[in-house]
A and B are shown apart, each in its own frame.
Chain A
Amino acid sequence: MIFRNVKRAGFVLAVLTVTLASSFFWMRARAPHVSSMAGGPKDDKSRPLEIVPEPQASLAAGTHALPSPRPEDFAKDRLLSEILTARNDNDPRLDREFNALTPAMRRLFRERYAELASEKRNERGTIVYLLGRQLARTGGDADDFQFFDAVLTESPCLSMADCAHHSAGGADSHSEMGTEISLAYPQLVALVSIEHLIENGRASASSLIQARQALALAVKSPVQAVANKARAIQATLSRASGS
């Protein structure tokens, strides 16, 4: 009798273990999601995005004559907010969920960009990335280029702690590692998008003209990393056109 009970208990334990193992491996197969868990939805409450009302007409440009956002547009906006809050740049939804941004969605994203504190360099850059990917694929419209021009001509962000002021802590060759890129991140992402637009060869003549105008603005940037990147793209463009 005892042996039979032990056997039964063993069987139940085995079923439980196999069920647990199956769940575990299923979760591991969704690895990129696993990586987002530590900073995922739980963090939405503990570390909300810092939204600073900062109306910037040029950044939120293009609100004229656009259809009102539909529920699905707001849903994408909420999803974007969730991803930005999680601080997981490898969230696969970045590649999957934002591939066909409607004009209303793009307007919402531009507004979101303008609302974010300037110090939110990665969050701002991520929005530019999503809008820029669409720009590179479709050629964009006047509102898109107006937004990109505004991003490229923003005042330089002076320090990661406070874009309006120089760092109080001084500089050090080691601690400055990568900082220049992070400070100029939204602008560099905008330039990468323009580079992709030019490279893909599908841009219309009008898009190319606007892309060249954006590059001309960026070349004048007081930020060395931005000006250098713009010059490099211009050089590529000149070589391609044989001029």
Chain B
Amino acid sequence: MKKSNLLGVGILGVIVGLALASSSARADYSFDNDVPADIKAQMIADMQFIGTVQGTTASPLHQQIFGNADGPTYTKFFNDRVQSVGMSDCGMGNAVACVNAGFDSSKMWLTENFIKFSHPQIARIMVMFHESRHTEDNNDNWPHATCPSPFLDPSGNEIKSIWTGYSLAGEPGCDVTPFGSYGSSMIMLKNIQKFCTNCTDKVKMDAGLYADDQFKRIIDSTAVQQITTDLYSN
């Protein structure tokens, strides 16, 4: 092969390599024009962070839902489900994001609260991955289960907001499977807490706090046992 050809192949290889290297963090979804620049920048930053996660291993349930506990896997999971991002109030004053499967199941809506409220970064990511699970038409968008009434924590106290008095009892805010939106996102976070090698200690602490909280929303004893065996038994 001539020198000039070799040079050409080399350049092509470098360019292809660059393209492949950047693909792991690429956003396949588009943003509507009305998404404010600061909200868009925050979502991109959050997804870039999750795209860098490196995990030593992953729990069996995590393997089943996502695959490995690493950035490219999470990025692909999200990109495979969310094709566009728009702005909405999601019907409630406190919402950060939502999916309206009846309108467009591949679209995620963000609210101004995404940056207005001071949630830890892992909490925003939890909400985004929770909502991304609701895009799955082939799984009936993983509908939630009705929380039992009364809805008690392990200490026997009713699970409700101390501030608003709002109770989850009788509300569609629970899951009966590890594979729904609450289960999958808490499994993701718990794996990050346990296995992430390049997350800060703060991120891992936060992942544990939010995962443990979301675990309360799993109400089926078999599902609870599955998750306990998967993530809490050692």
Contact = CB atoms under 8 A, between A and B. Distances in A.
A90 B204 CA distance: 9
Nearest to B199: A90
B229 interface: no
B7 interface: yes
Contacts of A179: 94, 161
Contact of A231 (B52, B90, B155): B155
A38 B123 CA distance: 18
Contact of B121 (A25, A90, A119, A224): A90
Interface string A181-213: 111010011001000000000000000000000
A140 to B, nearest CB: 18
Interface string B71-96: 00000000000000000001111111
Given A94-B201, A172-B91, A178 B49 contact: no
Contacts of A10: 4, 7-8, 11
A78 interface: no
Nearest to B93: A169
B171 A177 contact: no
Contacts of B164: 166-167, 171
Interface stretch (A12-20, A54-62, A143-151): A12-20
B60 interface: no
A238 interface: no
Contacts of B147: 173
Given A90-B199, A166-B163, A178-B213, A173 B173 contact: yes
B211 to A, nearest CB: 10
Interface centre among A18, A129, A159, A181 (most CB of B within 10 A): A181
A18 B41 CA distance: 29
B44 A38 contact: yes
A159 B163 contact: yes
Contacts of A181: 123, 209-210, 213
A126 B144 CA distance: 33
Contacts of B202: 89, 94, 126, 129
Given A35-B45, A178-B126, A188-B209, A87 B94 contact: no
Q: Give the interface size class of chain B.
A: 35 or more
Contacts of A13: 11
Interface in B111-140: 113, 115-123, 126-127, 130
A160 B95 CA distance: 11
A74 to B, nearest CB: 23
B52 A35 contact: yes
Interface string B27-64: 00000000000100110110011011000000000000
B18 interface: yes
Given A24-B21, A181-B123, A171 B166 contact: yes
A90 B209 CA distance: 16
A18 to B, nearest CB: 6
Given A156-B163, A160-B117, A178-B213, A189 B205 contact: yes
Interface string A153-175: 00011111100001111111111
A157 to B, nearest CB: 8
Given A18-B14, A123-B118, A89 B206 contact: yes
Interface stretch (A39-47, A65-73, A107-115): A39-47
B152 to A, nearest CB: 12
Contacts of A161: 93, 113, 116-117
14 contacts: A10-B8, A21-B18, A35-B51, A39-B41, A46-B38, A88-B45, A119-B117, A160-B116, A161-B113, A166-B163, A171-B164, A175-B90, A223-B162, A224-B159
